[in-house]
Structure 1
Amino acid sequence: MTWEYFKRRLIFILWNGDSKLRFRNLRYLPRWIVLVFDVFLVSVSSIITYNIINLLTHQFYELLSIEWQIVLTVFVYSLSFLLLSTYSGVVRHSTFVDVAKIAIACLISTVVLAGISYLSYFSTGQKIFLVPFLIINVSITFISMLFFRLTVKMAYQSFSKVNRKRKNVLIFEVSDETIALAEAINGSNEDVFDLVGFISSKKKHTRVKILGKPIFRFDDQFYARINPLKVDAVILPAQVGNKAIQEKLIDFCLENTIKILSSPKIEAWEDTSIDLVSNIRQIQIEDLLDRHQIILDDTLIRKSLSGKNILVTGGAGSIGSEIVRQIAAFKPNKLIVFDQAESPLNEISLELIESYPKVDFQFVLGDIRNSKRVAEIFESNRISIVYHAAAYKHVPLIENNPKEAVDVNIMGTINIADLCVEHGVDRFVMISTDKAVNPTNVMGATKRAAELYVQSLKEIHSNRTDFITTRFGNVLGSNGSVIPHFKKLIEKGGPVTVTHKDIIRYFMTITEACQLVLQAGTMGNGGEIFVFDMGKPVKILNLAEKMIRLSGLEPYKDIEIEFTGLRPGEKLYEELLSNDSETLPTHNEKILIAKQKGYTYNYVLDHLNNVIIAGANDDNEMVVSCLKKLIPEFKSNNSIFESLDRQVR
């Protein structure tokens, strides 16, 4: 190390961007201030050491005067501080690493000073420093520097408690993971949370403390015990704890206006680049639904998709875009994203090109109703797999516009399916809906009609395409779904509108829905309808009440809930299977095969031709009437078409 190096280092410390001392906003001590304090402490320590030694003996080596001994000592220590950057850490967040750097710097300084002293002895016959002087000096210097940092740290913590309101939090459950989370909170640079204890779902721990914090059992006396602590929030670590107790705890928190927070999943805790505390967030309503994670067989999916040319219709929509994202991760040869919505297609194109630069994307603007436009795609690309997500899906809107649903949901599907047969596509995976089961509205009926058509294609002798259908319920976070709608109403101050107090629905996340589609695409031999074990149905009224409480408000007090009555075509209870259906298991316990009655190709085609002709004549009643003849279980509910049920019967 040269003097030029230390000079440049010193100039950098004094003049870099951290050198400004802002008394009005003292977030941290500038590095030059820390260095000056450390040098000052070495000087004071040397003087104190001299006085201590002077009390023990008056005999000092006379090669250098006491003043020059102190100057040399300070100089050597300063060089060590520069070399090891002992000043660079934020003092209020000093850690064991910072303490170790100080200890090493002090030890190096002592060794160097001792070395200089003995070099002097060998060259001149006289030493510079007494050995007791070096030992006492290094001890006092280290202790004083450590004390300085502890004082700053304690002062900052006291100051931050006064000037910054931290949330008093409890952590649910006692385990290795939750203790690790507690340690992360206590040692975090983020002064957001103040851990006041743990919650146990098992036995009482009245005499046991962890990290100095008490453990509270969640029982009838729980609120009375935690009330003095003024708890602001409870942290629920992901994948930790008794589910049944956790649900009761969530209800308790919602009723007592205690915020519910969630921490990252356990796998993320091993990633040291992730600040666990900064990733603790307020729990979302999606997290409170009783959902079971789907476990995918990545090997089968990768084998099915890797190196293939794949087409996704409706690829810019909620479901379609997530299917595209998941497919892109399996390295297809070419991924064609087809949609009629210009702006969403442009947005997804920008995202995908950035996220998956090695994937060959083709973004095609077009309409599945335009058979010529769709045919161009099949003719110019050797497509192996089609995921058909394009559809009209909003029940009340479709109920008033049956012809449009016929054009898109039926004719569009026929266009894509026929081209798959014509061009020998390996697999066609259709995204359907639970509303196709015992349909009570036009949307569900058109999707059921599309299901029947693709099922019937299996008997065509020239067909070598496996036609697969997947059914699932309401998708959380998709365009027009209930949760974003409720959020908007709550933000406006209400009222939150629910169609009926007893209405229930099944829910799943977009990610889960698309995982089901990909998994189903690797199963079966064609003609199957795959349904998903979606857990427990959710009462929409309970969903609305929980969302209001999660916003820190009280239902019926801060935000009103109004019942508007069932919408056209809407039913109280969605079903996953029709009355005459049976199920068969698959290798994934969450995915079942619905054995549902199908029809011959000619029978389905004859009825659909009647539906299409009625649509071309703008005769909505005839459209619905023809659909009811093809689908006997289609019974309109709360709709202008209810009278047609009697006519068909």
Structure 2
Amino acid sequence: MSDKLNQNSSEKKPFSGMLYQLKVSLFVNKLTNWYFSKATLPYWCIMVLDSIAIVVAGMIATYIAGGGELIASHFWNYLLTFICSLPLFVVGMRIFHTYSGIMRYSSFVDLLRISGALVVGFILNSILLMVVPDSIRCELTTEAIVVMLFISMIEMWTMRILVKYMYDSSFSAETKTPVFILGVREGGISLAKSMRNDHPSQYVVKGFSTEEAAVVGRFLLGCEVYSYDETLIGVMHKMNVKTLFVSPLVTEKFLEKQDMIDKLTAEGIKIMMMPKALSWDGKSNLRYQMMHEVDIEDLLPRDKIEVDMKAIGKLLCGRTILITGAAGSIGSEMVKQIAIYKPQRLILVDEAETPMHDVRLFMNKNYADLPCETIVTSITNATRMERIFSEYHPDYVFHAAAYKHVPMMEDNPSEAVQNNIYGTRVIADMAVKYGTKKFVMISTDKAVNPTNVMGCSKRICEIYCQALNKAIVDGEVKGVTQFVTTRFGNVLGSNGSVIPIFKKQIAMGGPITVTHPDIIRFFMLIPEACKLVLEAGTMGKGGEIFVFDMGKPVRIADLAKRMIALSGVDGIDIKYVGLRDGEKLFEEVLNDKEATVPTHHPKIMVAKVREYPYELARKNEEDLYQLSFTYDDMAIVKKMKEIVPEYKSQHSKYSELDAK
């Protein structure tokens, strides 16, 4: 019977011990939750805690110096002495504001402030010891105060570190998003530090990743470094991390591994990167707020484009500049980039009233002191354009106005002729007549071996501008204008381009419509394209057709898949609808028979193209313009093919003209 009772009591002891531990744990959790749910402790609470630490440190220092008997015999005297020394330490606290900080957010700077405050208190108390008579010093030596200084420093440091650790590891971790950082050099470290030091911060760093094998497996700022490969995705899932920050220093390498990007997005991992419009010098403070959730534009592989904007600014400063198509994607960006350099006046022309109103509001808000004319009219209105040129005499003309949508122009060749071709001739002739120094026409890669009406119309514009420039040089036409043409491909996010269309289709629940599984396109950011236009325009001497290096081509189907993955929306399908009229599977930047000449800019080349006599180019345009008013699509396109023999229609009703 007694054995059974002993057995039952022995079983109850472990159970009662576990119950006691559980109660203690619950009490600690309740206490920490109560403390961390408060905004901050009052400053006097922190000062009291620090003061207690100093007094306890003094008693410990005395024990170390004199032993337990000394403390036991003079306990109250020593206690009173250390309490009396507190005002001088409080002076140091006041100077360094040690009590005004928030302990849960303590940093290395706060620890330095504590050290400074204690050193000031030590110096003041040492001076006091020199003045106080030996009879009331309680045998307190300078050595004891030095020991007291270091012990109190350790106590106050430990108190803040423990509070910060408890906050970071428990309460803070519950309210912050766990993240990984790709990059272990200055960029990755700066991101991690900014997350830790910012209050309140959204994120807590759980690990780093890198391709540097020598660093993998080590610890950085208390977090393990993992290899940047497929295993990283498993590690992040295991640690329930769904966000990856990419250091600006490894962005280019990150974009080179498109397969890894696809795997990350497919697994629902959010990628945070620095926007393309920003840059980091690798030295200044890098804040995590500078990063943003990537859009599809950020993930396309592109080399960084460097342009000497200061040199361009010197040429544009104080000039009168006319921009056609100023409300469009390219034109409006040109307005923004040119306005920075304080031209004498901006003349902005576009026939789209509402977008033009938006441009006017932008200029009034951001450049109110810059004289700016926003004119709603068509470039085909010759009398209006002559009035504009005669009144303002622009030094530079950037001609961005054009109908650009391939299917629309395929169905409306007369409008392509009247707007794109005739409109360009109107502007070009006015530029010569009124002494414009430079005329920069924005063309397209679709003008190379054109397969559609739109591309052919732009090629005819190129022919006329180049022929007019040569006529000026040869003295056939009196004038000073230098004509420069720039060719590039699709710009990301432009009006009517594929990316905004895909975004709308995803928002509507799909499907995403792609014309062909193998169709590819070159892409460039609008600001990048405009910078290259400005660079080419200012470097050109007249007669050049500048070609931009568009980087690597992108398969549209892959683009659609990645956008679906980034959206996080399930059930979005891709539907292939077939090539549109006049559409190519891939765009060319140069004609097969053309050669290129490099320039001082690695991204800009000069195309050597077949030149046309000015009189022939002008007559061709006049005949085509008159023919456009018949609205006979076949007759108009036939004439266009005669002017541009390399124009071969694809997926179009005009293909029968090529057979003839």
Moved more, 412-421 or 103-112: 103-112
Equivalent residues in 2 for 1:160-199 (5 A)? 160=171, 163-164=174-175, 166-172=177-183, 174-175=184-185, 177-182=187-192, 184-185=194-195, 189=199, 190-199=201-210
Give per-residue Cα distances to partners, 1:438-465, cap 9 Å, x unaligned: 2222222222222222122121421321
TM-superposed CA distance for 1:395, in Å, is 1.7
Change (3 A) 1:140 1:587: closer
Q: Could you tell me the percent identity over the aligned residues?
A: 37
Q: Which of 433, 446, 468 is the equivalent residue of 1:422?
A: 433
Equivalent residues in 2 for 1:229-628 (5 A)? 229-240=239-250, 242=253, 246-263=257-274, 267-272=280-285, 274-275=286-287, 277-298=288-309, 300-356=311-367, 359-458=370-469, 459=471, 460-553=476-569, 558-628=571-641
Q: Structure 1 counterpart of 2:636, which letter?
A: V
TM-superposed CA distance for 1:42, in Å, is 0.6
Equivalent residues in 2 for 1:137-176 (5 A)? 137-160=148-171, 163-164=174-175, 166-172=177-183, 174-175=184-185
Q: Distance in 2 between matches of 1:168 and 1:230?
A: 9
- SS, match of residue 500 in structure 1: coil
Change (3 A) 1:218 1:374: same
**Any stretches of 5+ residues in structure 1 without a counterpart?**
1-21
TM-superposed CA distance for 1:424, in Å, is 1.5
Q: Distance in 2 between matches of 1:431 and 1:252?
A: 38
Moved more, 489-498 or 614-623: 614-623
Q: Distance in 2 between matches of 1:345 and 1:617?
A: 32
TM-score (norm 1): 0.84
The answer on 1:130 being equivalent to 2:146 is no
Give per-residue Cα distances to partners, 1:608-633, cap 9 Å, x unaligned: 22322233344444333332332222
- SS, match of residue 346 in structure 1: helix
The answer on 1:112 being equivalent to 2:121 is no
TM-superposed CA distance for 1:58, in Å, is 7.2
Q: Which of 44, 67, 70 is the equivalent residue of 1:35?
A: 44
Instruction: Kindly indicate whether the alpha-carbon contact (under 8 Å) linking 2:624 and 2:636 is maintained by their aligned counterparts in 1.
Output: yes
Q: Structure 1 counterpart of 2:543, which letter?
A: G
- SS, match of residue 572 in structure 2: coil
TM-superposed CA distance for 1:100, in Å, is 1.4
Q: Distance in 1 between matches of 2:72 and 2:185?
A: 61
Q: Structure 2 counterpart of 1:381, which letter?
A: Y
Instruction: Kindly indicate whether the alpha-carbon contact (under 8 Å) linking 1:507 and 1:534 is maintained by their aligned counterparts in 2.
Output: yes
- SS, match of residue 357 in structure 2: helix
Q: Distance in 2 between matches of 1:110 and 1:136?
A: 10
Q: Distance in 2 between matches of 1:151 and 1:40?
A: 14
The answer on 1:85 being equivalent to 2:85 is no
Change (3 A) 1:360 1:68: farther
Q: Distance in 1 between matches of 2:192 and 2:294?
A: 18
- Note the aligned Cα RMSD (angstroms): 3.5
Q: Structure 1 counterpart of 2:106, which letter?
A: S
Q: Distance in 2 between matches of 1:139 and 1:592?
A: 68
- SS, match of residue 508 in structure 1: strand
TM-superposed CA distance for 1:466, in Å, is 0.8
- SS, match of residue 111 in structure 2: helix
TM-superposed CA distance for 1:346, in Å, is 3.2
Q: Distance in 2 between matches of 1:300 and 1:165?
A: 46
TM-superposed CA distance for 1:187, in Å, is 5.3
Q: Distance in 1 between matches of 2:60 and 2:477?
A: 106
Instruction: Kindly indicate whether the alpha-carbon contact (under 8 Å) linking 1:43 and 1:70 is maintained by their aligned counterparts in 2.
Output: no
Q: Structure 2 counterpart of 1:322, which letter?
A: E
The answer on 1:101 being equivalent to 2:113 is yes
TM-superposed CA distance for 1:412, in Å, is 1.7
TM-superposed CA distance for 1:228, in Å, is 4.3
Instruction: Kindly indicate whether the alpha-carbon contact (under 8 Å) linking 2:57 and 2:152 is maintained by their aligned counterparts in 1.
Output: no
TM-superposed CA distance for 1:430, in Å, is 0.2
Q: Distance in 1 between matches of 2:508 and 2:302?
A: 29
Instruction: Kindly indicate whether the alpha-carbon contact (under 8 Å) linking 1:182 and 1:195 is maintained by their aligned counterparts in 2.
Output: no
Instruction: Kindly indicate whether the alpha-carbon contact (under 8 Å) linking 2:448 and 2:459 is maintained by their aligned counterparts in 1.
Output: yes
Instruction: Kindly indicate whether the alpha-carbon contact (under 8 Å) linking 2:177 and 2:202 is maintained by their aligned counterparts in 1.
Output: yes
Q: Distance in 2 between matches of 1:129 and 1:42?
A: 21
Instruction: Kindly indicate whether the alpha-carbon contact (under 8 Å) linking 2:581 and 2:651 is maintained by their aligned counterparts in 1.
Output: yes
Q: Distance in 1 between matches of 2:49 and 2:237?
A: 48
Q: Distance in 2 between matches of 1:618 and 1:224?
A: 63
TM-superposed CA distance for 1:519, in Å, is 1.3
The structure carrying a bigger helix percent of its residues is 2
**Any stretches of 5+ residues in structure 2 without a counterpart?**
1-31
TM-superposed CA distance for 1:356, in Å, is 4.5
TM-superposed CA distance for 1:311, in Å, is 1.2
- SS, match of residue 99 in structure 2: coil
Change (3 A) 1:59 1:562: closer
- SS, match of residue 267 in structure 1: coil
Instruction: Kindly indicate whether the alpha-carbon contact (under 8 Å) linking 2:443 and 2:462 is maintained by their aligned counterparts in 1.
Output: yes
Q: Distance in 2 between matches of 1:44 and 1:214?
A: 34
Q: Distance in 2 between matches of 1:642 and 1:23?
A: 76
Instruction: Kindly indicate whether the alpha-carbon contact (under 8 Å) linking 1:476 and 1:507 is maintained by their aligned counterparts in 2.
Output: yes
TM-score (norm 2): 0.83
Aligned residue in 2 for 1:634: 647
- SS, match of residue 596 in structure 2: strand
Q: Distance in 2 between matches of 1:206 and 1:300?
A: 44
The answer on 1:46 being equivalent to 2:55 is yes
Aligned length: 615
TM-superposed CA distance for 1:23, in Å, is 8.7
- SS, match of residue 521 in structure 1: helix
Change (3 A) 1:595 1:483: same
Moved more, 278-287 or 494-503: 278-287
Q: Distance in 2 between matches of 1:637 and 1:23?
A: 70
Aligned residue in 1 for 2:11: none
Q: Distance in 2 between matches of 1:138 and 1:484?
A: 65
Q: Distance in 2 between matches of 1:231 and 1:614?
A: 65
Aligned residue in 2 for 1:12: none
Give per-residue Cα distances to partners, 1:476-501, cap 9 Å, x unaligned: 01111111221222222211110111
Q: Distance in 2 between matches of 1:24 and 1:616?
A: 81
Moved more, 425-434 or 580-589: 580-589
Give per-residue Cα distances to partners, 1:194-217, cap 9 Å, x unaligned: 2323232x6476665444544444
TM-superposed CA distance for 1:66, in Å, is 7.2
Q: Structure 2 counterpart of 1:519, which letter?
A: E
